[in-house]
């Protein structure tokens, strides 16, 4: 049995694009009748073969696409399995960093106080060394002043 599409076309049925509206197309499942100027087409088997070939190509492309999606899914699963340890490492590191930050904040004032004490101790030691060596430094400064005075040119006094 051959399916035939019959078009009922009038000027009112055309869409602005020049196509015929799909609502005016109807299926006639009966055989074509000869006469009256209408022709018949017995090449429906060729059209069916073309449609089947197109469906086969589409099915092949769809299967390829599904294969690629499965491959991507497998790769994602392997990536997820390989990064499971990394996630744990990141979480533990973050917790350790947070704990270290809290510890520094808790004991920072004590460390700052110790630093200030060390600075005061070093300043006292430097001052004590300076006080101990002050007489020697003053003696050297006096000798340098004499040396500078002796090396300066003397003014010439004109005779009267």
Under the banding of pLDDT at 50, 70 and 90, the label for residue 129 is confident
Q: Are 24 and 5 in contact (CB under 8 A)?
A: no
Q: What is the pLDDT of residues 91-102, one digit of tens each?
A: 889 999 998 888
Q: Provide Rg for the chain, Cα atoms.
A: 53
Confidence at residue 14, expressed as pLDDT on a 0 to 100 scale: 47
Confidence at residue 21, expressed as pLDDT on a 0 to 100 scale: 45
pTM for the full model? 0.30
């Amino acid at each position: 049995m051959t399916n035939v599409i019959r078009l009922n076309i009038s000027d009112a049925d055309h869409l602005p694009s020049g196509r015929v509206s799909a609502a005016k197309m109807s299926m006639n499942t009966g055989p074509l009748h000869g006469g009256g100027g209408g022709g018949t087409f017995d090449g429906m088997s060729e059209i069916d073969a073309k449609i089947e070939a197109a469906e086969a190509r589409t099915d092949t492309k769809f299967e390829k696409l599904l294969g690629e999606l499965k491959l991507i899914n497998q790769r994602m699963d392997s990536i997820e399995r390989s990064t499971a340890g990394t996630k744990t490492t990141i979480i533990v590191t973050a917790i350790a960093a947070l704990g270290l930050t809290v510890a520094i904040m808790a004991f920072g004032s004590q460390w700052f106080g110790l630093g200030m004490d060390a600075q005061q101790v070093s300043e006292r030691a430097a001052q004590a060394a300076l006080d101990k060596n002050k007489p020697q430094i003053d003696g050297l400064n006096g000798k340098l002043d004499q040396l500078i005075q002796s090396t300066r040119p003397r003014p010439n006094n004109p005779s009267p």
